């Protein structure tokens, strides 16, 4: 269970004036504190059963539990019923008298992940709802928003909540186990005095509660609970820690995991106790508040570095004697111990001394991938032997299971030699990898080795590339392009208008016919076009066929091509709700590419509304499936208005599509560098279906003069606020 990183104190004022609720909130992508799987913590599984609870379906434990208590719930967000999911009940606590259910239960607190559908852009919030002291029977009147994040379908989450009745202390954490990240962790003060509690977890949907089956459901289950575990301890699960270097002039240490012997290394421990609260009845001679122990471990040996007992809430900066630790990899482990039991434990790998080998860009030269790598180190090691191995693997698309299967191939030596690491400077080394003979989509990973007591790390190590089938006839070479042309008005518009003149004039038409002709495209998808009449004139000026796609706004799309257009389909739809997915434009054209049928899809997704982009992704998924039933050769390009990993990318990846820039070996590049401050935004893409994955020869973002501001041009405007993307394909 990961808990991590820097704590930020947040004070929330609630409707109850006599309650001060303080939460130490942390969002961190790296695991930092965990239940020790084989430790001394007596955690047991609790029996539970599903039951309807008002407008919710909730798992309730079949027995009550006495506080202090920690409960760990593990649940999965399922594909089925996801669109109607309105809340995930992560942990619900109700107070019951005695050990039975004969009394009327009173709610104590609830950790819930809820969709705010009333907002202009619907969002998800993780909230703690709780009962204030002295408010028995008043329900969960107070709440605190802990985090803002969208539950991801197919991901498994783990929520841990710990409660002590004497103080009303609550420690909580929520982690995405699939992504290996922590959404939040921290502490709060709620109503105290609760004795026996019953625990629950479940969900709420807009579609109503499914009919219960035999111990489960007889319908779509948007959330499934796989574990419900309890232990009779109050545990500091909201505590966090990080390792870093203390540098002069900086308020906080810089979090890193690799150090040199002379670095000022520290551990920052953020404690979550609202006060010196007892975790359980104190054992004879023991401290009920527990002890934190920081230990260095390496090769089975341990060294105790620091002990902290009975500390109240706050931060502690613990020095780590890096100069006294051996060179090479090791680990720091933080244990929470009470009465001789290790109840919580977390570990972080560290290394004293390091060498980095950073892989640069790769390009095809004859039958090889060639490039360079840069070697850097934190200390002077002198001349040392370094080898860089390349591990090849071919990706094969399994159409039945709809996934890529990676089949390991050969291992080659990309570089082997003596490298002189005598100071702070980087050393550049050449690398070369022979292309395999088998056609298809391949990946290459790199691993550097050096016989020194240091951490050797390879950066930028995995790349995709394509291998074509051996010539069995004449080659078909096709350049595919995508370009958001900003209405053919130049950017900034005022600066461009002085030279271009009015849109639609012969001068304006000739200029953009020349711009598009300069790209040398056989197939060009454009977004944010202008009028259909202008698109027809432009096609005639370029000697191209054109498929035009209507827009309910002001952003028509088009596909210009040298090849005959056999069919075209428009993707823009109006839903009963009034929403219009692809309100800018989207559509497909079936091309006859020298006897090979190829679908080309151009899309322009919504720039801001994530919920509408999700609708667009659903439309695209349905339309692409229809196209694949006609021809296995499909290219999807356009302005996705989202970076890789977004929902529109996901529906293509799920169908085996690969990004052409990835397949070219260099990875995706920014496509909005014409805009100040947008240098890392990559929203224009070309994807190819599995059947075409082995055909990609090269791909690039065009940043020549006239396309990118400051690219050697003297004028003060460029053709558009986007950059074109091209991909060269070849098959036999």
Instruction: Assign 249 to helix, strand or coil.
Output: coil
How far is Cα 279 from Cα 304, in angstroms, rounded to an integer? 23
How far is Cα 381 from Cα 150, in angstroms, rounded to an integer? 47
Q: Report the pLDDT value the prediction gives residue 422, as an integer from 0 to 100.
A: 80
Structure confidence by residue, pLDDT tens digits, 387-434: 999 999 999 998 888 889 999 999 999 999 999 988 667 899 999 999
- For the cut 70, the answer to whether the pLDDT of residue 467 exceeds it is yes
Count Cβ atoms below 10 Å from residue 373 Cβ, excluding itself: 25
State mean pLDDT over 666-694.
82
How far is Cα 528 from Cα 551, in angstroms, rounded to an integer? 10
Residue 19's pLDDT band (cuts 50, 70, 90): very low
Residue 476 gets the label, from left (phi > 0), alpha (psi -120 to 50) or beta, of: beta
- The beta strands (E) that lie in 339-402 are given as 341-352, 354-365, 368-377, 382-398
Q: What are phi and psi of 552, to 5 degrees?
A: -80, -5
User: Three-state SS across 636-658?
Assistant: EEEECCCCCCCHHHHHHHCCCCE
Averaged confidence pLDDT in the chain: 81
Residue 310's pLDDT band (cuts 50, 70, 90): low
Task: Could you please state the CATH topology (level 3) that the domain comprising 8-33+48-231 is classified under.
Answer: Jelly Rolls (2.60.120)
| More confident position, 18 or 156 | 156
Q: Report the pLDDT value the prediction gives residue 539, as an integer from 0 to 100.
A: 96
Q: Which two tokens stand for residue 661?
A: 């820039």
State mean pLDDT over 517-535.
95
Q: Report the pLDDT value the prediction gives residue 282, as an integer from 0 to 100.
A: 31
Q: Report the pLDDT value the prediction gives residue 114, as an integer from 0 to 100.
A: 92
Q: Report the pLDDT value the prediction gives residue 278, as an integer from 0 to 100.
A: 32
Domain boundaries in the chain? 8-33+48-231, 242-269+284-352, 376-467, 476-731
| More confident position, 47 or 334 | 334
User: How much of the chain, in percent, has pLDDT values that exceed 90?
Assistant: 38
Q: Report the pLDDT value the prediction gives residue 679, as an integer from 0 to 100.
A: 65
Lowest mean pLDDT among 79-83, 528-532, 614-618: 79-83
Q: At what angle do helices 493-500 and 506-518 cross, to 10 degrees?
A: 110
User: Three-state SS across 514-543?
Assistant: HHHHHCCCCEEEEECCCCHHHHHHHHHHHC
State mean pLDDT over 284-291.
50
Q: Are the C-beta atoms of 23 and 173 separated by less than 8 Å?
A: no
How far is Cα 328 from Cα 322, in angstroms, rounded to an integer? 11
- For the cut 60, the answer to whether the pLDDT of residue 661 exceeds it is yes
Domain spanning 242-269+284-352: which CATH class is it, in words? mainly beta
Residue 709's pLDDT band (cuts 50, 70, 90): confident
Residues in the chain: 732
How many CA atoms are closer than 13 Å to the CA of 93, on its beta-carbon side? 32
Is the pTM higher than 0.85? The answer reads no
Structure confidence by residue, pLDDT tens digits, 144-175: 888 888 899 899 999 999 888 877 788 888 98
Q: Report the pLDDT value the prediction gives residue 338, as an integer from 0 to 100.
A: 79
State mean pLDDT over 122-128.
86
Residue 53's pLDDT band (cuts 50, 70, 90): low
Q: Are the C-beta atoms of 55 and 209 separated by less than 8 Å?
A: yes
Nearest CA to 699 out of 655, 669, 657 is that of 669
CATH of domain 476-731: 3.60.10.10
Q: Report the pLDDT value the prediction gives residue 185, as an integer from 0 to 100.
A: 79
Cβ neighbours of residue 173 closer than 8 Å, sequence gap 6 or more: 1, 3, 159, 160, 182, 184, 185, 186, 237, 238
State mean pLDDT over 285-301.
75
Q: Which two tokens stand for residue 710?
A: 């400051």
Q: Are the C-beta atoms of 725 and 691 separated by less than 8 Å?
A: no
Residue 262's pLDDT band (cuts 50, 70, 90): confident
Q: Report the pLDDT value the prediction gives residue 613, as an integer from 0 to 100.
A: 87
């Amino acid at each position: 269970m990961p808990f991590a990183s820097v704590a930020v104190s947040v004070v929330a004022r609630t409707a109850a004036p006599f309650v001060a609720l303080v939460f130490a909130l942390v969002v961190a992508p790296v695991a930092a504190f965990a239940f020790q799987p084989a430790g001394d913590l007596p955690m047991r599984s609790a029996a539970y059963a599903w039951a309807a609870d008002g407008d919710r379906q909730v798992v309730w434990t079949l027995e009550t539990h006495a506080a202090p208590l920690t409960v760990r719930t593990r649940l999965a967000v399922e594909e089925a019923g996801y669109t109607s999911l309105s809340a995930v009940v992560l942990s619900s606590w109700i107070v019951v008298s005695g050990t039975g259910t004969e009394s009327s239960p009173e709610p104590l607190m609830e950790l819930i992940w809820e969709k705010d559908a009333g907002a202009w852009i619907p969002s998800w919030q993780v909230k703690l709802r709780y009962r204030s002291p002295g408010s028995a029977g008043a329900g969960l009147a107070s709440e605190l928003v802990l985090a803002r994040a969208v539950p991801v379908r197919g991901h498994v989450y783990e929520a841990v909540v710990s409660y002590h009745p004497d103080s009303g202390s609550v420690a909580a954490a929520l982690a995405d186990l699939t992504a290996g990240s922590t959404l939040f962790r921290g502490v709060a003060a709620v109503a105290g005095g609760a004795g026996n509690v019953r625990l629950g977890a479940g969900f709420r949907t807009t579609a109503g509660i499914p009919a219960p089956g035999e111990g489960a459901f007889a319908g779509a289950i948007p959330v499934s609970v796989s574990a419900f575990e309890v232990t009779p301890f109050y545990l500091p699960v909201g505590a966090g820690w990080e390792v870093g270097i203390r540098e002069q002039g900086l308020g906080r240490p810089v979090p890193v995991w690799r150090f040199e012997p002379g670095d000022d290394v520290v551990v920052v421990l953020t404690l979550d106790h609202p006060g010196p609260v007892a975790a359980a009845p104190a054992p004879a001679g023991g401290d009920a508040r527990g002890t934190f122990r920081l230990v260095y471990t390496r090769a089975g040996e341990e060294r105790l570095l620091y002990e902290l007992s009975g500390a109240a809430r706050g931060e502690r900066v613990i020095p780590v004697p890096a100069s006294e630790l051996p060179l090479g990899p090791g680990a720091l482990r933080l244990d929470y111990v009470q009465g001789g039991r290790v109840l919580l434990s977390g570990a972080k790998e560290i290394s004293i001394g390091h060498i980095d080998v950073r892989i640069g860009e790769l390009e095809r030269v004859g039958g090889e991938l060639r490039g360079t790598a840069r070697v850097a180190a934190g200390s002077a090691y002198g001349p040392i032997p370094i080898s860089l191995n390349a591990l090849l693997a071919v990706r094969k698309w399994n159409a039945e299971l709809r996934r890529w299967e990676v089949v390991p191939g050969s291992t080659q030596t990309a570089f082997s030699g003596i490298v002189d690491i005598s100071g702070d400077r980087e050393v550049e080394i050449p690398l070369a990898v022979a292309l395999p003979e088998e056609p298809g989509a391949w990946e290459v990973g790199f691993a550097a080795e050096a016989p020194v007591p240091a951490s050797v790390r390879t950066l930028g190590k995995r790349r995709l590339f394509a291998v074509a089938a051996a010539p069995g006839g004449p080659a078909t070479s096709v350049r595919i392009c995508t370009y958001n042309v900003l209405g053919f008005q130049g950017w900034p518009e005022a600066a461009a208008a002085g030279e271009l003149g009015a849109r639609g004039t012969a001068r304006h038409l000739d200029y953009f016919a020349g711009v598009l002709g300069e790209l040398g495209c056989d197939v060009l998808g454009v977004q944010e076009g202008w009028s259909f009449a202008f698109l027809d004139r432009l096609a005639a000026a370029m000697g191209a066929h054109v498929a035009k796609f209507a827009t309910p706004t002001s952003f028509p799309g088009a596909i210009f091509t040298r090849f005959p257009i056999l069919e075209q389909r428009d993707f823009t739809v109006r839903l009963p709700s009034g929403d219009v997915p692809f309100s800018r434009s989207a559509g497909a054209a079936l091309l006859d590419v020298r006897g090979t049928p190829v679908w080309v899809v151009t899309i322009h997704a919504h720039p801001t509304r994530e919920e509408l982009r999700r609708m667009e992704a659903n439309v695209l998924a349905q339309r692409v499936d229809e196209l694949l039933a006609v021809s296995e050769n499909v290219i999807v390009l356009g302005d996705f208005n989202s970076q890789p990993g977004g929902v529109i990318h996901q529906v293509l990846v799920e169908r085996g599509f690969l990004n052409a820039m990835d397949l070219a070996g260099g990875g995706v590049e920014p496509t909005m560098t014409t805009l100040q401050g947008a240098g890392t935004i990559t929203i224009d893409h070309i994807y190819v279906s599995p059947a075409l994955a082995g055909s990609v020869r090269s791909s690039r973002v065009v940043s020549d003069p006239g396309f990118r501001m400051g690219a050697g041009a003297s004028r003060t405007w460029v053709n558009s606020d986007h950059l074109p993307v091209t991909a060269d394909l070849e098959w036999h």
